[in-house]
Every structure is written in C-alpha cells, then in structure tokens.
Amino acid sequence: MSTLSLSPAFSPAPARARSTVRLTRRGRLVVFMTSLFLVLGVAFMLAGGAVGTDEAGQPAPTEIVQVAPGDTLWGIASEIATDGDVRSMMSEIERLNALESAGLSAGQKLRVPVVSD
C-alpha cells in the first residue's frame, strides 16, 4: 500500500509582538498640531521669497475717451486694437476701468490704452 502525506502549502507568518506604546487622543492631537505648524512654517519660509522691487513700475500710457450714445465696448476696442485682437483689448479696457460688465452709459469716461502707430 502507498502512503499519502499532505503538507500545508501556506503557513501563516508568526504574529508580531505588539508595541506597548499607544497614542492617546491628546497625543494624536499633539502630533497633528506639531505637523501642521511644521508644514505652515515651511510654507511661510518659502513664501517669504516673493518677487518685489523697491522701484515703482511704469504705468501703461492711457487716454480718456467719453462714451457717445450708441457706443459699445466692442466698438471702442475695435477702433483701438491695432493688431486686430479686439477681445484682449476689451479685457484690457475692462481691467483699466474696473468694469464689472461690458455695458456702457452715454457720457461715461473710459481710460483706454494709447494707440501707437
């Protein structure tokens, strides 16, 4: 007669001994706050190298245009845009005048970039 022998193919690893050191709720909070302050400190130190100069910049040359009845921002920008890029000129006029929309009123004065030929 023959004998059949079975050996297990997988043997579980022995369990590791658990550490006796445990963090309490206060300990976890201390570790978290320390980590947070460390990250914020590094962020502030890196942000301290912001780019800036002691000299004032040169403002872009502008002129004042009074809006006539029937004028639109698109029309004014298309007259000024020498390169044909009307949308960028519109956004520049909106930025210079802190406009919230493209709506204009007759008699309104707008600061527009000077046209250089």
Q: What is the per-residue pLDDT across 37-48, written as a single tens digit (0 to 9) for each?
A: 999 999 888 887
Residue 75 forms part of a structural domain: yes
Residue 52 forms part of a structural domain: no
Residue 46 forms part of a structural domain: no
Residue 76 forms part of a structural domain: yes
Structural domain span for residue 97: 70-113
Type of residue at 90: M
Residue 85 forms part of a structural domain: yes
DSSP run (H or E) holding 41: helix 25-47
Query: What CA–CA distances, in Å, run from 100 to 76, 93, 114?
Result: 17, 11, 22
Residue 91 forms part of a structural domain: yes
pLDDT per residue as tens digits for the range 52-110: 777 888 888 889 999 999 999 999 999 888 888 889 989 999 999 988 888 888 899 99
Global pTM? 0.51
Residues 88 and 82: their CA atoms lie apart, in Å, by 11
Count of domains observed in the chain: 1
